[in-house]
Amino acid sequence: MSDSTAFENGSGFACKRFLIVTADDFGASENINEGIEIAADKQVITTISALTNFPESLPLLKNISKNHPDIGIGSHLNITTGKPVLSAQEIPSLVNDKGIFFTVDELLPKLSSIVIVDLKKELRAQIMALVNIDIQVDHLSDQNGILSFYSPFFDIVTELALEFNVPIRTPEIASIKYPDLFPNSCMKQNGRKKAMKLSIQNPIKAFRLLKYARIQEIEKKVQMLDGLGIPHPDLLIEYFWGNPTIANLNHILEQLPEGTSELVLHLGTDTRQENYPSGLDIDYFINREKELATITEKHLIKYCNTLNIRTIGYDTLIKSTR
């Protein structure tokens, strides 16, 4: 539900393509936090999506917010990585016997057994973690796409978006909507592997979940957001994940359709720590370093300007849709 109104850039040319540049997963580990802080300092991102169930990272997030008030900070709602904000006793259906979230592979066959009341309580607590440190919540997104994928969970996210009066990340994925422009998406391939694994282990549950991956189901979610008046970008660009090269970044920007898109980045440095939270994709760490190197070497924002793409934040999306 982005505004298609053209904005004039400094050269007097009307911009019809807008890009939100978001760094996901702040909070999960030291290397991720460092990568996002570097990207903020180099002014190559417009938004941060934070995992607020990692309270030890909130002081650094607050510091970034003070140093870069132009960068919006949203809640990256999470039920697959680390421990919940609330105690395990308060939301028992969301955690295993150790009191930590199920990983994606563990959660998929359990989706229908999650108690919706537990889910809403925990997600609301994650949003309040930002509010409680005086950070204005910029938007809502979700870790690993589970909340966007499973419609009963997405309904809860939309309720929270209305409660907190914030925009939401679109469920409209570039490689699904425009397969010719964005073919062979690594993230889509990764999703298919997880679906195949589930179908082998539990074919009945895999079959029941299949409908949520259909284009028609995605379009229903977009229509619901529009009907409720919840602002959202037109398109989610997940195509950089797994192929963080300058050539691929060029391709994404050059093929960007008209309207407002969100480019999701997964950044990090070569810093390593002894232990990591459950559910975090450690195998992607090298690619996080490559993503950071590519966007800073290319200077993403300058190239967008060259292509007459206006980089914006979710706050601009709000202003242009109301």
Nearest to 311, CA basis, from 65, 123, 46: 46
User: Cα–Cα distance between 84 and 209 in angstroms, integer?
Assistant: 25
Residue 132, SS3 per DSSP: coil
Mean pLDDT of all residues in 150-164: 98
Q: What is the model's pLDDT at position 75?
A: 98
CA neighbours within 13 Å on the CB side: how many for 126?
A: 33
- State pLDDT tens for residues 176-189: 999 999 999 999 89
Length of the chain: 322
- State pLDDT tens for residues 62-105: 999 999 999 999 999 999 999 999 999 999 999 999 999 999 99
User: Cα–Cα distance between 96 and 41 in angstroms, integer?
Assistant: 38
* Beta pairing, strands 14-15 & 7-8: antiparallel
Asked if residue 87 is part of any domain, the answer here is: yes
Nearest to 170, CA basis, from 18, 5, 8, 7: 18
- State pLDDT tens for residues 244-254: 999 999 999 99
Q: Which residue has the tokens 């970034």?
A: 64
pLDDT band at 297 (very low <50, low <70, confident <90, very high): confident
Q: What is the CATH number of the domain that holds 89?
A: 3.20.20.370
User: Cα–Cα distance between 287 and 281 in angstroms, integer?
Assistant: 11
Q: What is the model's pLDDT at position 2?
A: 46
Q: Which residue has the tokens 């609301």?
A: 124
∠191-197-202 over CA atoms, to 5°? Answer: 120
| Domain tally, the chain | 1
Asked if residue 2 is part of any domain, the answer here is: no
User: Cα–Cα distance between 137 and 7 in angstroms, integer?
Assistant: 25
Residue 13 reports pLDDT greater than 70: no
Residue range(s) defining the domain that contains residue 205: 7-321
Asked if residue 1 is part of any domain, the answer here is: no
- State pLDDT tens for residues 20-64: 999 999 999 999 999 999 999 999 999 999 999 999 999 999 999
- CB-CB neighbours of 181 under 10 Å: 15
Asked if residue 307 is part of any domain, the answer here is: yes
Give how far Cα 296 sits from Cα of 44, 139, 187, Å.
7, 24, 22
Residue 175 reports pLDDT greater than 70: yes
Q: What is the pTM of this model?
A: 0.93
Asked if residue 197 is part of any domain, the answer here is: yes
